[in-house]
Amino acid sequence: MRRSDKEIKDPELIQEILNQSEVCRVALCDDGKPYIVPMNFGYQDQTLYLHSATQGQKIDILRKNNNLCFQVDTETRLVTSKTPCDWGMRYLSVIGYGKAYFLHNPADKKEALDLIMKKYSPVSSRPEKTFQYSDEAISSVIIIKVEIEEITGKKSGF
Ligand SMILES: Cc1cc2nc3c(=O)[nH]c(=O)nc-3n(C[C@H](O)[C@H](O)[C@H](O)COP(=O)(O)OP(=O)(O)OC[C@H]3O[C@@H](n4cnc5c(N)ncnc54)[C@H](O)[C@@H]3O)c2cc1C
């Protein structure tokens, strides 16, 4: 990273950013043509979990090329100044690279959906045990498991 002073080296902070961020921008490559798609996600143990309908452009690309890059950010705020060149952005950001695999086992898919549901639902509205999904819902969703191979964190304005 050119600005090594902004690099986040603490793996726990990188994990915290992943847990706090709400939107994951997923970058794919279709025969050299880039495609980026914003998605919700869950994170656990160096792995991202994404859910999707079974058809569409990103699924078509992933079936051909499972290499993926992603970006998330949190705590973003515009920093203004009297001088235009001193304007900037405060942020905590993570970029990662990995390979995507589709989960087929219903129990694994349910576990990934639980992870995503827990991330987005406030503690007060979570069920005591686990979330319930019909068999139809489980079979009509694709769960993409992203095994993260490289990850970097960068912060600015803190
Ligand atoms: C904040 C946020 C969270 C989301 N979370 C999820 C999620 O968890 N799971 C999920 O499957 N989808 C999610 N979506 C929707 C997602 O971004 C895609 O629209 C959707 O997944 C369909 O992608 P696809 O490649 O199958 O597109 P297709 O339906 O095949 O359409 C492809 C075409 O539509 C355009 N397109 C696709 N998506 C968008 C978009 N978001 N904005 C503008 N143009 C678009 C593309 O440029 C391309 O031309 C989210 C969107 C947002 C904004």
* pLDDT tens digit sequence for 135-150: 999 999 999 999 999 9
CATH number of the domain that residue 35 is part of? 2.30.110.10
Average pLDDT value for residue range 113-136: 88
**Could you give the number of structural domains in the chain?**
1
Helix (H) or strand (E) holding 156: strand 142-156
- Alpha carbon dihedral 13, 19, 25, 30, in 10-degree steps, equals 90
For residue 21, report the distance from its CA to the centre of ligand 1, in Å: 18
Q: Is 38 in the pocket of ligand 1 (CB under 6 A)?
A: yes
For residue 85, report the distance from its CA to the centre of ligand 1, in Å: 34
Query: What is the amino acid identity at position 49?
Result: Y
Q: Is 57 in the pocket of ligand 1 (CB under 6 A)?
A: yes
Whether the CB-CB separation of 102 and 142 falls below 8 Å is answered with yes
Name the closest-CA residue to atom 52, ligand 1. Answer: 38
* pLDDT tens digit sequence for 10-57: 999 999 999 999 999 999 999 999 999 999 999 999 999 999 999 999
Q: Say which residues have a Cβ less than 8 Å from residue 120's Cβ, sequence separation at least 6.
A: 22, 40
79: containing domain: 4-156
Residue 123: pLDDT band (50, 70, 90) is confident
